[in-house]
Amino acid sequence: MPRKVAEKLGVSRQAVTKWETDTGIPDIENIMAISALFDISIDELFSNKKGSKKPVQGLHCRGSCRQCCCPW
């Protein structure tokens, strides 16, 4: 997953891994790109609540919990 996301965002796989493991955070340009990539608003990206759109699975939990809506 990190490699595919990294390719789509134009960042390194290591950067995405840092976001996933809470050892780094994306800058505002990457936050906007993540929002667009997953078709969710920035508010939804930072919210703990699930909106009407699909939750972002696969970054933080790698999709294993099937409930995750956190961006990393």
pLDDT of the chain along its 72 residues, tens only? 788 999 999 999 999 999 989 899 999 999 999 999 999 999 988 886 655 445 455 555 555 544 555 554
Per-residue tokens: 58: 């696969």
Largest CA distance in the chain: 31
This prediction's pTM: 0.64
Separation between Cα atoms, residue 46 and residue 10, nearest integer Å: 21
Reduced to 3 states, what is the DSSP secondary structure of residue 33?
A: helix
Predicted local distance difference test score (pLDDT) of residue 13 = 94
CB neighbours (10 Å) of residue 29? 11
Total domains in the fold of the chain: 1
Q: Which domain holds residue 61?
A: 1-72
| CATH number of residue 15's parent domain | 1.10.260.40
